[in-house]
Structure 1
Amino acid sequence: MNEAELAQRLGLNADRLKEFLSVSETREFKKNSILFEGNAVCDWLGYIVNGAVRTYCVNDLGEEISFLLQVNGDFFGDYESYITNQKSGFIIKTTLDTEILVFQKKHLDTLIDSDIFWTRFSKTMSDICFLEAKRRIEDLLFYSPEERYQNLLRKSPEIIRKIPQKYISSYLGITAQSLSRIRKRGN
């Protein structure tokens, strides 16, 4: 992990980064590793240093529905479960070999309570999560499949390169065949 790059991504100086990393644990996972099984409380958040993860659920027909696709520089976890202390219905799995920072809730809460800087930092991260959720809802409600794909391509071209098409199509709410047609028309 390149700490200077991480500090820049997070907007932290070297001392603040050291504090932040002191409450985290670096972990490495192979492709297709399950990070969170679901049906439990998600009492941690992760930050992707390098790699990609997918958050999904399994519907009544046994189909996997991709809820979130995240890559380098993204925070992830079941944020609702983390906040409410309620069981999660989501599964979180790597789609590539992935290095993450894991932040246990109790350690992160201690850091946040220690200094107004971390309270503000936490609020900023929460605001970002809210805005991304809002954009996701708007994409699904107001945009065509082609527009959703273009929005994803603009927002995070890395997802298109790192995550298999079947997961991207599920995330966009379309079939893999439809995504293939959209990609062909775009080239």
Structure 2
Amino acid sequence: MIATYFRSIGLFEEEEINQIVDLFEYKKLNKNDFFIKENQRCHEVALIQSGIFRSFYSSVNKEDITYCFRFPNTWIAAYSSFITGGPSVENMQAITPVELWVIRKNIINKLASNNLKWMTYLKMIAEEQYLELEKRVFQLQKETASQRYANLIKDHPAFIQQLPLHYLASYLGITQRHLSRIRNQISF
């Protein structure tokens, strides 16, 4: 999977890809296991091979607020912690069994210091993360919950049924009751 992913980018030569693959560690997490918890420091990033994560934080009322889902073929990390070395402000929890390919930050830093292609790749990832964050902010400010739900169905139809309703409602910023009404209006 890692080799296929890096080939799809079109940035690295086959020999480089073979070397990159050896730097990753395969891991499995069970449902409800955490990739990272709030206040821990993030020292690794992972490519999700299978399974789904939710990213959430605790509100001042001690309520879990789901703000992001991560699906297969996407990266996962507590990026602010990963970049700054400070404690994470978020939790990343598997909501299904998960298979991951993990690489440590010190390895990434070494690659970036020795290879201009890695700097280019890391820039691409940072830009993707920025665009994803901007999209989420605009969704919350400009779209209705129904529109956000319809977009989630359109973007991730194979996974929508695996998302627990209380996490989905939290992600959409609505109650489970309101989500039930939306689900009755929108068909798969």
Normalising by the residue count of structure 1, what TM-score does the alignment of the two structures yield?
0.91
Q: Which residue of 1 aligns with 2:5?
A: 6
**Preserved contact between residue 23 and residue 108 of structure 1 (Cα < 8 Å):** no
Q: Which residue of 2 aligns with 1:183?
A: 183
Name stretches of at least 5 consecutive residues in structure 1 with no aligned partner: none
Q: Aligned ranges for residues 57-72 of structure 1 at < 5 Å?
A: 57-72=57-72
Q: Do the aligned partners of residues 122 and 61 (structure 1) sit closer, same or farther apart at CA in structure 2, a change above 3 Å counting?
A: same
Q: Do the aligned partners of residues 167 and 13 (structure 1) sit closer, same or farther apart at CA in structure 2, a change above 3 Å counting?
A: farther
Distance 1:74 1:28 in 2: 16
**Preserved contact between residue 7 and residue 14 of structure 1 (Cα < 8 Å):** no
Offset of residue 22 of structure 1: 2.6
Distance 2:25 2:142 in 1: 39
Distance 2:71 2:142 in 1: 25
| Amino acid paired to 2:24 | S
| Amino acid paired to 2:75 | F
Distance 1:33 1:161 in 2: 20
Q: Which runs of 4+ in 1 moved over 6 A?
A: none
Distance 1:61 1:54 in 2: 20
**Preserved contact between residue 42 and residue 85 of structure 2 (Cα < 8 Å):** yes
Deviations 1:24-75 (A, max 9, x none): 2110111111221221221211110111111111223221111210110111
Q: Which residue of 1 aligns with 2:56?
A: 56
**Preserved contact between residue 46 and residue 102 of structure 1 (Cα < 8 Å):** yes
Percentage of identical aligned residues = 25
Deviations 1:118-150 (A, max 9, x none): 111111111111100000000001111111111
Deviations 1:81-112 (A, max 9, x none): 11122211211110111001112111111112
Q: In structure 2, the residue corresponding to 1:73 is in which secondary structure? A: coil
| Amino acid paired to 2:66 | S
Name stretches of at least 5 consecutive residues in structure 2 with no aligned partner: none
Distance 1:150 1:122 in 2: 31
Q: Aligned ranges for residues 120-135 of structure 1 at < 5 Å?
A: 120-135=120-135
**Preserved contact between residue 53 and residue 92 of structure 1 (Cα < 8 Å):** yes
**Preserved contact between residue 71 and residue 158 of structure 1 (Cα < 8 Å):** no
Distance 1:20 1:154 in 2: 33
Offset of residue 17 of structure 1: 2.7
Distance 1:59 1:9 in 2: 39
Q: Which residue of 2 aligns with 1:74?
A: 74
Q: Do the aligned partners of residues 15 and 175 (structure 1) sit closer, same or farther apart at CA in structure 2, a change above 3 Å counting?
A: farther
Distance 1:163 1:20 in 2: 32
User: 1:47 and 2:31 equivalent?
Assistant: no
Normalising by the residue count of structure 2, what TM-score does the alignment of the two structures yield?
0.90
Q: Which residue of 2 aligns with 1:16?
A: 16
Q: In structure 2, the residue corresponding to 1:158 is in which secondary structure? A: coil
**Preserved contact between residue 3 and residue 17 of structure 2 (Cα < 8 Å):** no
Q: Do the aligned partners of residues 101 and 10 (structure 1) sit closer, same or farther apart at CA in structure 2, a change above 3 Å counting?
A: farther
